[in-house]
Structure 1
Amino acid sequence: NEKSFRHLIKFIKDLRLWMLGISYMFVGFYIMVPFTFLTTYAYQEILLPYNIAAALISVIAIGAIPGKLILASFSEGAGRFKAMILSGIMSIMGFTGIIIAGVFPSLEFIAIIFSTIIYGIGYGSVWPLYMAYASDIFSEETVGAALGLLTVFLGIGCMVSPPVAGWMADLTRTFKISFLFAVITSLLSMLFLILTRTKRKLS
């Protein structure tokens, strides 16, 4: 009906929808980097035993459990936006630690484990925070469409990230560049998230 059509047009013209979608797409970019390359990076460049390098993916999950609980609780008091920014900062700290872990002789194992846990804390909260934030800023009439569209953006990021980050690693002969790519896309995700604070419409 006409009312639903007006809601749809208003929804499509809402700049926050597209900024949040692009932000979530960059989330898809950075979350796929450790899942795709962390084991190989730790084994080939940090020189950890393969069984330990492979277990690092489980370490992400270990960090994700308290991350989801702590940052979700934090978001109730401080607000979703601040919690999402904190989640992004934790991810960047984790990626940075992973990149520089090899410069600590005899401490590589501890450095990469600690960094992976820090990343996991940020990673664990990202999904519920984005969904809750979208529910906060969009109306009941459009929130379902918003959540669906956000998932499409996330899927694009998840699909594009592995081949791009892998190509960069092949080009430079190091997986560190892939994790640097994750840092950059984390920053871009936060930048576009900041732009959701406006209520401007597309012309």
Structure 2
Amino acid sequence: MIHARIKHKSGAEDERTALIFGPLLYLPANTLWQILRSSCFDNESMPQKGGELLHYEFWPNYNKTEHTSNESYVEPDLLLEFEYFNLLVEIKRKDVQSYRQYEGQWKNEIQAFVNGQTHGENKPLLLIALGGNTSPEAFHTPLGRIYKSSWNSLLNQICIRQEQEKPYTPAYRILHDLESAFGLYHEFRIRKWLGQISPYGITNNTSDTIRTIWKR
């Protein structure tokens, strides 16, 4: 939440952005990228590795609006500058279509970011549209590639990654807190796939217990 306070953001969408992505940024860069990448629906063309996270900014403000439909400024929700590419994230509060994403907004954000780049910067530019998508397909523009994700997909990837971490590691604690943060919103349900459920072995003692209960 600290990032929302710093940027004087008080809307429900902005608070959710800060609550989830603030802790996500504490993870190792590779873990962060793998979670984001895996959460996207059509992700085969996404880079496998991002390298180090060199810089990030919540709600960056781009005032070079040439070739956009905005007159004053363009403001995506998050900028992540990885070693191998730059990533913009446009976030809608919920996954339902009433909080719909707009292709024109994505293109404005990509164009405004490119407008502000200095000469010679040529890293690939990606944009993840999180929440409010009406279709899963990714598509490419001349200036950047756009991928789609959902809050539920992001939560599932966080839970999967948590299962892979040892419980005493900092990454596990961060992921556990993120799962708890999602639990504050009633539209999310923590889902464990069958492959994630620890097997329960049946022993002779278990059989004796079952017979005892059955006789009651």
TM category, shorter: under 0.3
The structure in which a higher percent of residues are strand is 2
Q: TM-score, normalised by structure 1?
A: 0.26
Larger Rg: 2
If each structure's helix is expressed as a fraction of its own residues, which one has the higher value? 1
Between 1 and 2, higher relative CO (CA 8 Å, sep ≥ 6) is seen in: 1
TM-score by length of 2: 0.25
